[in-house]
Structure 1
Amino acid sequence: MAGAGACVRVPEIIFTTQLQTNLLSFDGVVLVTNTIDKLTEDLQSLKGLLNQYKSIDASVEQDVVLVPAPDLPGARLIFSPTGPLNRDYDDVRRFSDAAASGIKRALKAGMKRPLLVCPPEGLFKDASLVSVLGALQALYVPLEIREAHKEKATRVGCLGVWAPSEEEGKKLEQLASALEQGRTVCRDIGGSDPERMAAPNVAAYVQNIFRNSVVSVSVTSDVATLQEKYPCLAAVNRCAKDVPRHQARVIELEYTGEGATEKTLLLVGKGVTYDTGGADIKAGGIMAGMHRDKCGAAAVAGIFQVLSVLKPRGIKVIGAMSMVRNSVGSDCYVADEIITSRAKRRIRVGNTDAEGRMAMVDLLCSMKEKALEKYEPNHFELFTIATLTGHAIRAVGCNYSIIMDNGPARWARTAHGLQGAGDEVGDPFEISTIRRDDYDFHKGKSEYEDILQCNNLPSSATPRGHQSPAAFLIMGSGLDKHGIDSEKPLCYSHIDIAGSSGPFPGVPTGSPVLALAAKYILHRV
């Protein structure tokens, strides 16, 4: 794990092309496939065992089963079927779900060195990689547990992975390890409680991870500097700034791959370490779980961890994590205030619980400025990533990220490209469209203000509740001057991960690290 901080802990992955010759290396086999009949020639021993078991249990291809297997490592085989794969609604997540179920059963059986076997699947070219990632999701140990109980830092000694050839095995090991390290960083930051991952602690964690790596890190903490450069974020920070352990941080990261830079990504992540709602306080018990409001910034850090491990060529990535706590108290910002953004737009606050867009809008403006300094058509892509709205969950349900393009990004088909990449690795997206209604919604309602930040209702009760915030970010950052009618159009897409970031209680998923890596990184390795 060269260049990574000691706090990033993922199971060691060991690939093998053999089964019977590894009796001492592993203590059980976990098989993931949809049907016994499709097992390849080099897995005939598994086919025989399962057909024999099928004679006494016809449900073998429907449920996770443990089968005695004297000639296999650990003398036991767990079969975790994917179920059908050829229906309209089947996708590659059948493999990650099955692998996670199989590994959980392996842990119950006492396995400490399981060997995961996922034969090649014609319908889904990345089925093996997705299976390994599903297994690793089930093996994740939260950061606070790793720190408090060293003996519980890992669930297994290693994860074995079978591959039909040495070349495929090495590639699988490389990609799965890098992607899981990225998701681990994302989960660590996103899932840890609001004190362990308060803004100063996030900064320390990120600096530790990327110490002596190819990723550079800079942290802004000075209150006056934040006020000058990021006035909207500073407004959210106003109440928290007098509590040292809660003070805001802007964490900037940069990676430049070898060779000529063909693409530059500019990523801004929402990092609200805890969201009380502010003066518009979250009431009725809905505040619980609001430490997860930092998963957008966590995803940005996760992407940089993947970059630091894989070191892709021909790409530059600049990231900004807006780490701030939306506290409530005598100095909190309130509805009706007018705040002038970095882009010199006068913004009327409508609801202090819409703090995420405030935390990101000036950082997005800063990214716009960086893109314009060295402008080249189609060279730059800007993204905001945030657990922004309850409306996103209301609109598309859990487990799905939403992406929305501005005009130039829509012409470049950014959303469709990321959706396709996400489908291949089991990190799915739904596509929404930013309409004229969304811009109209945020136009100032009087001559006092240029922009209205939000209405007075929850996003889930607001028509177009997840689309209009994207229009706000475009307007508040000045990106509306760089649409399809501009001499310097800039591709910008907003990603809402409120639904895909993971359940609470539960473990964050690490979305959309996999999709972004599949779209922009893996083919450059």
Structure 2
Amino acid sequence: MDFELKTLTLHQAAGLAADALILLWSDRAGQTSAGPGDPLTLWARGAVADKDIESAVGSCLLAHRLPGVQPRRLALVRTGEGSGASIRKAVTAAMKALAGDAVKRLVLVAGDAEAAAVSAAVQAVAETSYRYVATKSQAKPRVLQKVVVGVADAAAVRQAFDQGVAVAHGVELAREWANRPGNHATPTMLAQAARQLGKLPGMSVEVLGPKEVAKLGMGAFMAVAQGSSEPLRFIVLKYQGAAKSSAPVVLVGKGITFDTGGISLKPAPEMDEMKFDMGGAASVLGTFAALAKLRPALNVVGLIPTCENMPDGRAVKPGDVVTSMSGQTIEVLNTDAEGRLILCDALTYAQRFKPRALIDVATLTGACVIALGGVRAGLFANRDDLAQHLFEAGEAALDPCWRMPLDDEYAEGLKSHFADMGNVAGRQAGAVTAAKFLEKFVGDHAWAHLDIAGVAWKGGASKGATGRPVPLLLRYLLDEADRLALQLRPTPKAVGAKPVRKR
């Protein structure tokens, strides 16, 4: 789908050839006077004055073939104070109202909307028009091909618009791979998707197979994979936007392409949704796709350990002890706690890059779903500044998270009689004890863990991947590029200072 940003008055927008037009109407919009021959403003103001449309955010009024307006279908939608969250809700409502029409070309008039709101509008259009068709024989693909976003001053919001388009692209890639069934998104297929990203500017990719992973000593990762006939893959993506000497941010995405639970077999109901257990890996792929579009001045490494968790005769058993890449031994008390086993070896591998920050992303625990539901991802971090930066990025990106505790006492339950640690610690505070397990493999590096089990996909009538937390991760990386630029900026010399001469 092609997005275009233009400076447009309402009069100009009315003259564009399109199948439909969405007019965003904020609480302050009616304060301006309509110019002569401006049918859109006159129509909108009249509808508001006559109370044909409610004032609540997302309230929508449709019209057909309004005189003086080229687009056949019109949607007037209220945006309240015009915040990013309000705009997203409003655009989503308008897109759903127009869903029955074959809209190939859309004009979205945002007027004097703020930069963040324009970005939110772009993402909302992309999200609501997405269609999954990869494994359907007669599916209708996305009809919408062209979206013109009209604003009062295109130059003022250009950067936010470009970022919104990049996020939309990354989210869609993440959704697409997470939505695919396990037999259409195997570890080998994920590696092929990564190789395609590796061809983009600034990108490179390396894919390791079972022999290379065994040579590295990734015993925990291999233990999970040994029950499946599908070979594991360890994907190493690199984006270079800064000097080679600049320490990268390392993202680690859990890539269990299907999770049966292994010998600790999951119940049958909704087990099909365990194809979404590679949501962390999908979000890393999506983030790299967005990075390729925006090219920030920052180095980023993406690590994706990917395999299936299956229960055949070779599968790891409860009570088995495996040796991780770090040398620490792990008693596998529950084979359904497999995500932390593949992540721990990837976190150990990540330390070779001497990262400025290390962030893992995983659909890790049902306990996090119970704690936070489907609104916020769980955030764990061993540095206050890193936690704050991720939290702020989530708020700005409308992809929120919430910090959870990491008190040392939570690790008590991981003690084992037969290994350095167990891989589970009982039912209480399950999301926290999982994070405490991962913390044992990050060394002294600044580290954060995002448990996205509650936000990576939806069930029921809206079943499907969300693409989260691509918006959060990209916002954090762009902010981190800005922080790096400030660190590299030369310190200005004091006015009037004289050089000190050596004697």
TM-score for both structures, normalised by structure 2: 0.87
1:24 Cα shift? 4.2
What RMSD, in angstroms, separates the aligned Cα atoms of the two structures? 2.5
How far apart, in 2, do the equivalents of 1:191 and 1:441 lie?
35
Equivalences for residues 78-89 of structure 1 within 5 A: 78-83=75-80
Letter in 1 for 2:357: E
5+ residue gaps, structure 1, are 1-10, 86-90, 372-378, 483-489
The answer to whether the aligner puts 1:15 opposite 2:12 as a matched pair is no
How far apart, in 1, do the equivalents of 2:112 and 2:295 lie?
27
Deviations 1:326-353 (A, max 9, x none): 0111111111001111111111011000
- The more displaced of 323-332 and 225-234 is 225-234
Partner of residue 399 from structure 1, selected from 342, 360, 375: 375
Partner of residue 465 from structure 1, selected from 409, 421, 430: 430
Equivalences for residues 28-39 of structure 1 within 5 A: 28-35=20-27, 37=29
8 Å contact from structure 1 (residues 403, 496) kept in 2: yes
The count of corresponding residues between Structure 1 and Structure 2 is 473
Aligned residue number for residue 200 of structure 1: 188
SS in 1 for 2:23: strand
Partner of residue 254 from structure 2, selected from 258, 270, 279: 270
How far apart, in 2, do the equivalents of 1:59 and 1:169 lie?
28
SS in 2 for 1:467: helix
How far apart, in 2, do the equivalents of 1:105 and 1:415 lie?
39
Partner of residue 317 from structure 1, selected from 267, 292, 300: 300
Q: For the structure 1 residues 496 and 196, does the alpha-carbon distance in structure 2 shift closer, same or farther, using more than 3 Å as the test?
A: same
Aligned residue number for residue 334 of structure 1: 317
Aligned residue number for residue 252 of structure 1: 236
Letter in 1 for 2:3: I
The answer to whether the aligner puts 1:281 opposite 2:265 as a matched pair is yes
Aligned residue number for residue 389 of structure 1: 365
Aligned residue number for residue 502 of structure 1: 457
Equivalences for residues 50-61 of structure 1 within 5 A: 50-54=44-48, 56-61=50-55
Deviations 1:425-472 (A, max 9, x none): 21111111211122212122x2x21111114x5xxxx22111111110
Aligned residue number for residue 420 of structure 2: 450
SS in 1 for 2:87: helix
How far apart, in 1, do the equivalents of 2:478 and 2:28 lie?
35
Q: For the structure 1 residues 233 and 39, does the alpha-carbon distance in structure 2 shift closer, same or farther, using more than 3 Å as the test?
A: farther
How far apart, in 2, do the equivalents of 1:33 and 1:226 lie?
59
Aligned residue number for residue 490 of structure 2: none
Q: For the structure 1 residues 188 and 284, does the alpha-carbon distance in structure 2 shift closer, same or farther, using more than 3 Å as the test?
A: closer
Aligned residue number for residue 380 of structure 1: 356
Letter in 1 for 2:454: G
TM-score for both structures, normalised by structure 1: 0.84
Partner of residue 436 from structure 1, selected from 391, 397, 408: 408
1:171 Cα shift? 3.1
Identity fraction in percent? 23
- The more displaced of 271-280 and 222-231 is 222-231
8 Å contact from structure 1 (residues 500, 509) kept in 2: yes
Q: For the structure 1 residues 420 and 107, does the alpha-carbon distance in structure 2 shift closer, same or farther, using more than 3 Å as the test?
A: same
Deviations 1:44-96 (A, max 9, x none): 753421232245544433422203432233143202224567xxxxx732321
1:168 Cα shift? 3.4
The answer to whether the aligner puts 1:421 opposite 2:412 as a matched pair is no
5+ residue gaps, structure 2, are 483-503
Q: For the structure 1 residues 120 and 424, does the alpha-carbon distance in structure 2 shift closer, same or farther, using more than 3 Å as the test?
A: farther
How far apart, in 1, do the equivalents of 2:151 and 2:245 lie?
34
The answer to whether the aligner puts 1:77 opposite 2:34 as a matched pair is no
- The structure whose Rg is larger is 2
How far apart, in 1, do the equivalents of 2:438 and 2:149 lie?
44
Q: For the structure 1 residues 523 and 114, does the alpha-carbon distance in structure 2 shift closer, same or farther, using more than 3 Å as the test?
A: farther
8 Å contact from structure 2 (residues 39, 67) kept in 1: no
1:143 Cα shift? 5.5
Aligned residue number for residue 376 of structure 1: none
SS in 2 for 1:233: helix
SS in 1 for 2:205: strand
The answer to whether the aligner puts 1:117 opposite 2:109 as a matched pair is yes
Q: For the structure 1 residues 301 and 288, does the alpha-carbon distance in structure 2 shift closer, same or farther, using more than 3 Å as the test?
A: same
1:523 Cα shift? 7.6
Aligned residue number for residue 364 of structure 1: 347
The answer to whether the aligner puts 1:67 opposite 2:60 as a matched pair is no
How far apart, in 1, do the equivalents of 2:32 and 2:294 lie?
31
Q: For the structure 1 residues 212 and 112, does the alpha-carbon distance in structure 2 shift closer, same or farther, using more than 3 Å as the test?
A: closer
Q: For the structure 1 residues 73 and 223, does the alpha-carbon distance in structure 2 shift closer, same or farther, using more than 3 Å as the test?
A: farther
Aligned residue number for residue 3 of structure 1: none
How far apart, in 1, do the equivalents of 2:480 and 2:325 lie?
36
Q: For the structure 1 residues 185 and 279, does the alpha-carbon distance in structure 2 shift closer, same or farther, using more than 3 Å as the test?
A: same
How far apart, in 1, do the equivalents of 2:132 and 2:479 lie?
26
Letter in 1 for 2:467: G
8 Å contact from structure 1 (residues 14, 173) kept in 2: no
Equivalences for residues 295-314 of structure 1 within 5 A: 295-313=279-297
SS in 2 for 1:309: helix
The answer to whether the aligner puts 1:350 opposite 2:333 as a matched pair is yes
Deviations 1:168-214 (A, max 9, x none): 35434422221112112211221211111111111112212332532
8 Å contact from structure 2 (residues 250, 302) kept in 1: yes
Aligned residue number for residue 474 of structure 1: 439
